[in-house]
Structure 1
Amino acid sequence: MTETSNRILMGQIGAAHGIKGEVRITPFTQHPEAIADYGPLHTDRPGLVITITKARVQKNVIVANIKGVADRNAAEALNGVSLFIDRSRLPEPDDEDDFYHADLLGLEARLDNGVVLGKVSALPNFGAGDLIEIRDSQSGDTFLYPFTKAVVPTVRIAEGYLTIVVPLDAEEGEEEPD
């Protein structure tokens, strides 16, 4: 079994699709259909390895056939299964501004003046773009910021930190009319 710290989450199986064993998969790959190109995928269920034999994009999910899954009951049993590959199977990023989300988790988040806000705890996307979640290690509070170049201008994975420029609230920057 691959050590979990070396695994990259590639997607998550959702509901069954139809009666012939197809499943919906929410992919976490840059190109959604690419999840089928990685060969066997490890899962969060001990001993279960998934191979996608056929996949097509449908709206914001992949509808896939999985080797050995031929009916709706078998497909429904996979609902909620997370799909992983070993980090060594992924190419290294080409550009210094490219990185895997997994590389950011645990990085120290600092303001541009050096004050530590906390650590990166998640990178959610609720449909309007990526966010970066910072957890204050002292209070346990979490803060969400847009994950854009303007808000996160510096990412230094090797040094273990990134810089956050807190966006000003639009109301704070406006003056009251006379």
Structure 2
Amino acid sequence: MSSATADDPRPLVGEPLSIELLNTRWIDNNGPQDLLDGLPGLAVWLLSVGLEQRCDADAATLRHLLHAREALTAAVADPAAPSEQARNLLNDVLAHGRLRRALTADGPTATAETDDPARLAAWLTADDYLRLLAEDPTRIRPCANPACVLHFFDTSQNRRRRWCSMAACGNRAKAARHYARART
């Protein structure tokens, strides 16, 4: 889970790591936004998701994260049955890392290892997506607002969450329905 920073401009934070990467693109009153359009935004994202100590905010990390975001974008189009292209893209990200499990004096551990340190953030997001799929692919959802590009992992008790945020998209939809009823 993310711990939002004051510099993080994204409208939705606090989602699982893979969803956090998807939500680095959003639309606001100024049009489409992309937090990962440069190294300063990468640094903000790494800090927001708690990876600033493990991953460098450099061009190689950014390149691999953008590739992972492309893979996740393809995969969330149909989480329950991803296309062959989506599977290939995601598997390409996953091919560069693994979990190394060990039994230590403190108990079992699992450490993510990648063939290149610049791939760690990308690999962690792809691995997190597999965890979400294993938990329940139907809980990975896009916002019901057709003008919104954000995604979320539905943890609501009744599994009926529809909006990225009730304060934003959900409230707009309710206001539009109310206005339409009032006009008739």
TM-score > 0.5 by shorter chain: no
Structure with the larger strand share: 1
Q: Which has the higher contact order (CA 8 A, sep 6+)?
A: 2
* TM-score relative to the length of structure 1: 0.31
Structure with the larger helix share: 2
